[in-house]
Amino acid sequence: MTVRSSRHGLLVVIAGPSGVGKGTVHTRVRSLLPDAVLSVSATTRAPRDGEVDGVDYHFVSPQRFQELVDGDALLEWAEYAGNRYGTPSEPVASAVAAGHVVVLDIELQGALQVRAHDPSALLLFLAPPSFEELERRLLARGTEDPAALDRRLTRAREELDQAHHFDVTVINDDLDRCVAEVVAIIEQARHEPL
């Protein structure tokens, strides 16, 4: 067995229900881990105001998404609240091989697919302090119409019940504390022998 004691590339999934603060945690984690990169997913969802194609997502048609699935170009994919989302495999594989931490912001079904493909991936589940707090944060965000909000809350309940599939659960109660915990967990995993 080759033991590499220095930091090695690592695939990290930070999943959790919509509204838990994943986007903010991802951004902060990346600012603290300079060589971490965020995978840019493909989605059939329409861009929100301010979202940029190729940066926030690759916004694709349902036909194009199906081509990616058929061509085995996605590491994982899932349907979420009426749209499809998936992680392009190739950029992730090259970045991990180059020694980067690659962070995926994906929902639960996708996280479980990553686990099946890559047992060495680190799976972190970001949980809200309570379901009521999650509901409050999603409402305050104001990005969804009532029907979409309802779908996201239903899905959130299902996701919270599945946290036990993950390596670690981190509660996003206080942002600074939560980010510090996530960074410490990632750093520790990077230093573990392969």
Q: What residue ranges bind ligand 5GP (CB under 6 A)?
A: 18, 22, 41, 45, 76-78, 80, 85-87, 105-107, 109-110
Least distance in angstroms from the C-beta of 53 to ligand 5GP = 13
User: Both ends of the chain: CA-CA distance in Å?
Assistant: 9
Name the residue number minimizing CB distance to ligand 5GP.
Answer: 110
Residue closer to ligand 5GP by CB (options 28, 107) is: 107
Query: Residue 38's closest CA among 91, 84, 80, 116?
Result: 91
- Give every CB contact of residue 62 below 8 A, 6+ residues apart in sequence: 44, 84
Residue closer to ligand 5GP by CB (options 110, 128) is: 110
Residue closer to ligand 5GP by CB (options 22, 190) is: 22
Least distance in angstroms from the C-beta of 194 to ligand 5GP = 25
Task: Count the residues in the chain.
Answer: 194
- Where helices occur in 58-192 by DSSP H, the ranges are 62-70, 89-97, 108-117, 131-141, 146-160, 175-191
Least distance in angstroms from the C-beta of 106 to ligand 5GP = 3
Least distance in angstroms from the C-beta of 18 to ligand 5GP = 5
Cα(186)–Cα(194) distance, integer angstroms: 14
Cα(90)–Cα(72) distance, integer angstroms: 10
Residue closer to ligand 5GP by CB (options 165, 191) is: 165
Residue closer to ligand 5GP by CB (options 14, 186) is: 14
